Structure 1
Amino acid sequence: MAALRLPPVVSRLSAVGRAASPAGWCRARIPVGGGTLQRASSSTPDSDYLHESIVPTNHFQKSLPRLPIPKLQDTVRRFLNAQRPLLDNDQYRRTERLAQDFEQGIGKQLHEELVAQDKRNKHTSYISGPWFDMYLCARESVVLNFNPFMSFNPDPNPAFNSQLIRAVNMTVSAVRFMKTFRAGLLEPEIFHLNPAKSDTALFKNIIRFVPTSVSWYGAYMVNAYPLDMSQYFRLFNSTRIPRPVRDELLTDDSGKHLLVMRNGHFYIFDVIDQDGRITKPSEILAHFKYILSDSCPPPEFPLGYLTSENRDVWSSLRQRLLEAGNAEVLNKIDSAVFCICLDDITIKDHLQLSHNMLHGNGLNRWYDKSFSFILTKDGSAGVNFEHSWGDGVAVLRLMNEVSKDTTKRPAVSPTTLPAAVDSSQNVQKLEFKLNDVLKAGILSAKEKFDTSVSALTVEATVFKKGGKVFLKKQNLSPDAVAQLSLQMGFLRQYNKTVATYESCSTAAFKHGRTETIRPATIYTQKCCEAFVKQPSKHSISDLKAMIGECSKYHGQLTKEAAMARGFDRHLFALSYLAKSKEMPLPELFQDPSYIQINHNILSTSTLTSPAIHFGGFAPVVPDGFGVGYGVHDDWIGYIVSSYPARDVTEFLKCVNKSLDDIFDVLEGQLISG
């Protein structure tokens, strides 16, 4: 299967991307999950499901191609290509020598062992275990360091944008998604290269009869590429549990209740009834209305802050919670279907929205849940998700389906009356037993949280002179131009080229996670220096040609990454293997240039979807920028975060100036001063 040529079938933002730091390795066995699949009976009401796919959800999973391990010589070549714009000649020669020694020596041995190990574990991918370890062994707070956010577009009908109505509709649609998935009725995730041929009723009616052992090949024959869906089962009833050294992922699909947070208080009520059906929307409406009517002020010691702590500290405090008699309430939080956070604030602008969805005030969050819907008083909505269990592919599918379902088939409307039920009997407010050690731990966590989020700055900009439509007419990759503007902006501000990370999903392969696109290249370096330092020395046609070279090479890197032919994951796995064998760390991985290229000052990810307004994340290093961006038909938008070491306002000015210059040149105009 590795010989098949696969197109770059997944957009870079489906990975929503945290550029994870390759630190905190440990050895552990990683369970690879499945899901509870129960086909719906014919008597089940349609209102419980998003749709009923005739092709079973996991029809292609068994025959998905395995994630290929690149050839070591290709990995070394790509690694050196990425290093070239970051190093001077002396540094490069040293790194080149170390890389070649690695390729001929210890690297060859490790690579052979990795390949042999992979052949023994055909049920998964070579990166799955190490990648789980990388996340779960990290001891830093998940807040800012790992959890990203995505915000929903408003409901097109303004009357449905109230906090109460939207909370009910999103709850019902998300539970519909869960039931549809678990019944095996959710449409499989497929990239259709030729939708007219493959995204049809005829294709579905034929492919469903193709045996699962070869079904992927049947889709491949008509240029349709099923994607890995192994992460989806972690969306629901899932929580990251803090443990010493390495955290645990818990999924308990026996939970039938929703977790609701408001003012730092915890509430639960069942969203699945005794017959396995979704609780009546009018009853859910009554329960949310009851919770919103609770006038209790925030608790003196809000427990949610603990999930923002260092993982070892949180692990120790969780043990104290258990010893204090809180096992039952913690289990109810952990096993809840998902979490909805009702925030008592009104959003004034997109910067406030970004801060609220990315971290909030810490009071009204349980950051360890697989995902949380966050709704503010004005009906603004978003998702904050814990990243260890999976990538943005599953979360984005959930958001797309929820957005579509809530707008096309809302469960309640502004005129819906709450059911005549006694919510005080159906909604349970969770109470915790806290001793002095726990109270002190909560206050300490709050202090650390406030300090860390106060250091974060988020800014945004919108470039309105053009976008995807214009750039495609110029035969340019829109993503390449957006990335070029970041390189050019950074050079303009700081006079240097730095390590840059762009996430790319490898969901085209079984248990694929992500690969890295390295947008800082010799082509972007040459182009940026021409634009920033010597624009008058180059003709418009020369500058256009440079932009074209950047676009062509970026397209090649993107295709390679989507086909799992990058270098980052391969080198990461080799380094992980050396550590797991307790070998001396190969010299290549101790080289300052290797450390530098993994110190991603520009961490970037792109997202466009009809459901999504924008998304973002914090920088992955103290002196970096976290860049979420989207190239739309006629405009380009950026949400950028930074800590005090960087000036994000000036950076965005430089990015805007760079875009101005690029578009001027593409329109045949001289660069303005």
Structure 2
Amino acid sequence: MSDRTFAAEDHLPRVPLPTLEDSAERFLRWSAPLLTDDELATTEAAVDDLLRADGQGRVLHEALREYDATPGVGSWLDLFWPSRYLGRRDRIALNANFFFLFRDDTVLAASTGATQVERAAGIIAAAVDYKLALDEEAIPPVTQRGQQLSMWQNKFLFSETRIPGVEQDSVRAPYSDEQPGPSAARHIAVFHRGNLFRVDVIGPEGAPYTPEDLADGLRAVQRAGEQRVPADAAVGHLTTKARAEWAADRAALLAEPANVAALEELETALFCVCLEDFAPRDVQHACDQLLHGDSGNRWFDKSVSFIVFADGQAGINVEHCGLDGTTILSFVDTLLETSAAEHAARSGAQRQGAPAVAPIEFVLDDALRAAIGAAGADFAAYAAANATLTVSFDSFGTARAKELKISPDAFAQLSYQLAHRRSKGLTGATYESIATRQYRNGRTEAMRVVTPELIAFVDAMVDPEVDAAAKLAAARTAAATHVERAKQCQSGAAPEQHLWELQWIQRRRGAELGATEALPLYDSPGWTIMRDDYLSTSSAPSVNITFFGFGSTSPTCIGVAYVLLPDRWNLYLATPEPVADQMHAFAGHLRTAVADLEALLAQD
């Protein structure tokens, strides 16, 4: 096996394309626990229609099979991901972007001074070191159980910017037809109090600046940006808008030549650094600011934005279209597990004096100012209507779960379901993200957590007539079923994305394929109920972060982002404010559920 970053890509196995029959059977089995008998019967009829020998389902699946076999196509999901991420028309700020809060005691943090500029300079130096190594394909592929994983997402770490479109967004990125090979940019974009600056991080002769030089550059930014930008001139607010509206505003910006140059500087920048002028009140406040913050001090379309607070605490906000959590975790771990001095030495950084710093300025007419001001006010209200909560278990982690002879993730998911039932009196659709980077162009698979065995476990736990032995047996069975379903997802044997892509094909090519009639499947109770999440869950295991988070995905959903490590378990919960009481009730019952499940398993 080669250690070159992208060497394994062409040799990785392809994501298997399920048969239509397999996906239909799994879809029925996965949705059934959430349906009444009548709803299941309606859904079964819709599946029968999908499987008709002369039906549109066959036509759409055959089109997908032909696409999968097309030379140059890496995966049958290659068009699914742009449709899913770039096709969404609502705002991505808070709705789609995600964050990590870094620990304050990492090797990188300990190697810098405690001030904001020193911490930020260390992060910048580390990221530049990673970028230059990536250019040389010297970042070794991540391995899992001895198998190399896909690294293609790393091509979206630097100089990638999402561009709003009327019908669908696009991506401006290196390693593309428009820009073959790695980014040639030598600068980053730095925000402070809504002011935006270009800061060079690689010198005129090609050597990176040292952390000390970078700190001098950041101090220059702070001095030049001391005066906060008026709310109607902080252009970053526009990146919070629904995508088609933002596309119209971007077109208006581009009508002015000075703005063409400003956007060029911003969109080609290696990444963003957002310097905040305050220290968070507590951990939850830090997380909230990483998720949304002052949108005038952000560019949410940028793939990577490091946020550094006035007290040196730091984290990252990530635009999701090209990057999943596992890729960002590997990136962040590499940055944070090495000292700033070692990163600088490894990259060949040289003392060159303070780097060039220049403002990135936009020319705005009254209409654009009005749009910017309104966008900022609207997003501030939207963020305020997002209720969040941090929950920590300092005495429970993967080590304890393994002592109890249970999969740590199964323990977490069983706890979530028990807490949800106790807090709301029902079992609802639950999503869990499962990484599939062992495949070429692999990203994630959509796991549906609710199984008959899991419902039987929750039923047993809330029934005072059921004895401990039966509850224990139900827990073990539910956990084993959970692990088995996760393995199915890891192997590509999951129905949702396959069936969803058939729907996308019909939208894109229905007329061409003669498949324009609405398919009953996509209006069936199974499809709508299975995907109407009450809990949307995802984990991020890294010793270098304290919290991971994302926004809620629907009016009744609780987003559950969790960091489950050997010695601790931290969660960031998010839900719309109108149902915040339900989130707080869920959190309270989660503490009890964890204690009850731990005590139950300890009897075995």
Q: Same fold (TM over 0.5)?
A: yes
- Asked if 1:74 is matched to 2:27, the reply is no
Give the deviation of 1:456 after TM superposition: 0.6
Give the deviation of 1:408 after TM superposition: 7.7
- Asked if 1:656 is matched to 2:604, the reply is no
Letter in 1 for 2:46: L
Distance 1:422 1:255, change over 3 A: closer
**Structure 1 residue aligned with 2:11, among 58, 63, 88?**
63
- Asked if 1:322 is matched to 2:322, the reply is no
Distance 1:254 1:633, change over 3 A: closer
Task: Single out whichever of 281-290 and 600-609 deviates more from structure 2.
Answer: 281-290
> What residue is the counterpart of 2:497 in the other structure?
569
Q: Quote the Cα distance in structure 2 between the aligned partners of 1:276 and 1:556.
A: 51
Using the aligned pairs only, state the percent identity. Answer: 29
What is the CA deviation profile of residues 17-37 of structure 1, one whole-angstrom value per residue up to 9, with x for unaligned ones? Answer: xxxxxxxxxxxxxxxxxxxxx
> What residue is the counterpart of 1:643 in the other structure?
576
Q: Work out whether residues 340 and 373 of structure 1, in 8 Å CA contact, stay in contact via their aligned partners in 2.
A: yes
> What residue is the counterpart of 1:353 in the other structure?
286
Give the deviation of 1:650 after TM superposition: 1.1
> What residue is the counterpart of 2:48 in the other structure?
100
**Structure 2 residue aligned with 1:588, among 509, 517, 521?**
521
Q: Work out whether residues 489 and 658 of structure 1, in 8 Å CA contact, stay in contact via their aligned partners in 2.
A: yes
Give the deviation of 1:103 after TM superposition: 2.4
SS at match of 2:400: helix
> What residue is the counterpart of 1:218 in the other structure?
none
> What residue is the counterpart of 2:167 in the other structure?
245
TM-score, length basis structure 1: 0.83
SS at match of 1:363: helix
Give the deviation of 1:449 after TM superposition: 0.4
Q: Quote the Cα distance in structure 2 between the aligned partners of 1:304 and 1:493.
A: 39
SS at match of 2:338: helix
Letter in 2 for 1:337: L
Distance 1:668 1:594, change over 3 A: same
Q: Quote the Cα distance in structure 1 between the aligned partners of 2:116 and 2:486.
A: 40
- Asked if 1:396 is matched to 2:329, the reply is yes
- Match runs of 1:531-546 below 5 Å: 531-532=461-462, 534=463, 536-546=464-474
**Structure 2 residue aligned with 1:120, among 62, 70, 78?**
70
SS at match of 1:604: strand
Q: Work out whether residues 127 and 513 of structure 1, in 8 Å CA contact, stay in contact via their aligned partners in 2.
A: no
Give the deviation of 1:523 after TM superposition: 1.1
Q: Work out whether residues 354 and 458 of structure 1, in 8 Å CA contact, stay in contact via their aligned partners in 2.
A: no
Q: Quote the Cα distance in structure 2 between the aligned partners of 1:636 and 1:387.
A: 24
> What residue is the counterpart of 1:437 in the other structure?
367
- Match runs of 1:165-204 below 5 Å: 165-191=118-144, 193=145
What is the CA deviation profile of residues 166-191 of structure 1, one whole-angstrom value per residue up to 9, with x for unaligned ones? Answer: 11111011011111011111112221
**Structure 1 residue aligned with 2:299, among 361, 366, 378?**
366
Unaligned runs of 5+ in 2: 175-182, 511-515
Distance 1:456 1:186, change over 3 A: same
- Asked if 1:478 is matched to 2:400, the reply is no
SS at match of 2:484: helix
**Structure 1 residue aligned with 2:445, among 515, 518, 528?**
515
Q: Quote the Cα distance in structure 2 between the aligned partners of 1:159 and 1:283.
A: 13
Give the deviation of 1:429 after TM superposition: 1.2
> What residue is the counterpart of 1:331 in the other structure?
264
Give the deviation of 1:369 after TM superposition: 0.5
Distance 1:551 1:161, change over 3 A: farther
Give the deviation of 1:266 after TM superposition: 0.5
Indicate the RMSD between aligned Cα atoms, in angstroms: 2.0
Q: Work out whether residues 155 and 161 of structure 1, in 8 Å CA contact, stay in contact via their aligned partners in 2.
A: no
TM-score, length basis structure 2: 0.92
What is the CA deviation profile of residues 55-89 of structure 1, one whole-angstrom value per residue up to 9, with x for unaligned ones? Answer: 22222111111111112222122211221221111
Give the deviation of 1:273 after TM superposition: 2.0
Distance 1:407 1:551, change over 3 A: farther
> What residue is the counterpart of 2:339 in the other structure?
406
What is the CA deviation profile of residues 636-669 of structure 1, one whole-angstrom value per residue up to 9, with x for unaligned ones? Answer: 3221011124221111011111112111212239
- Asked if 1:666 is matched to 2:601, the reply is yes
Distance 1:181 1:366, change over 3 A: same
What is the CA deviation profile of residues 264-300 of structure 1, one whole-angstrom value per residue up to 9, with x for unaligned ones? Answer: 0001121122332212333212101221233632111
Q: Work out whether residues 524 and 550 of structure 1, in 8 Å CA contact, stay in contact via their aligned partners in 2.
A: yes
Task: Single out whichever of 622-631 and 152-161 deviates more from structure 2.
Answer: 152-161
Runs of 4+ displaced beyond 6 Å:
none
Q: Work out whether residues 543 and 565 of structure 2, in 8 Å CA contact, stay in contact via their aligned partners in 1.
A: no
Give the deviation of 1:230 after TM superposition: 1.2
Q: Quote the Cα distance in structure 1 between the aligned partners of 2:246 and 2:493.
A: 38
- Match runs of 1:231-270 below 5 Å: 231-252=153-174, 253-270=183-200
Distance 1:121 1:586, change over 3 A: farther
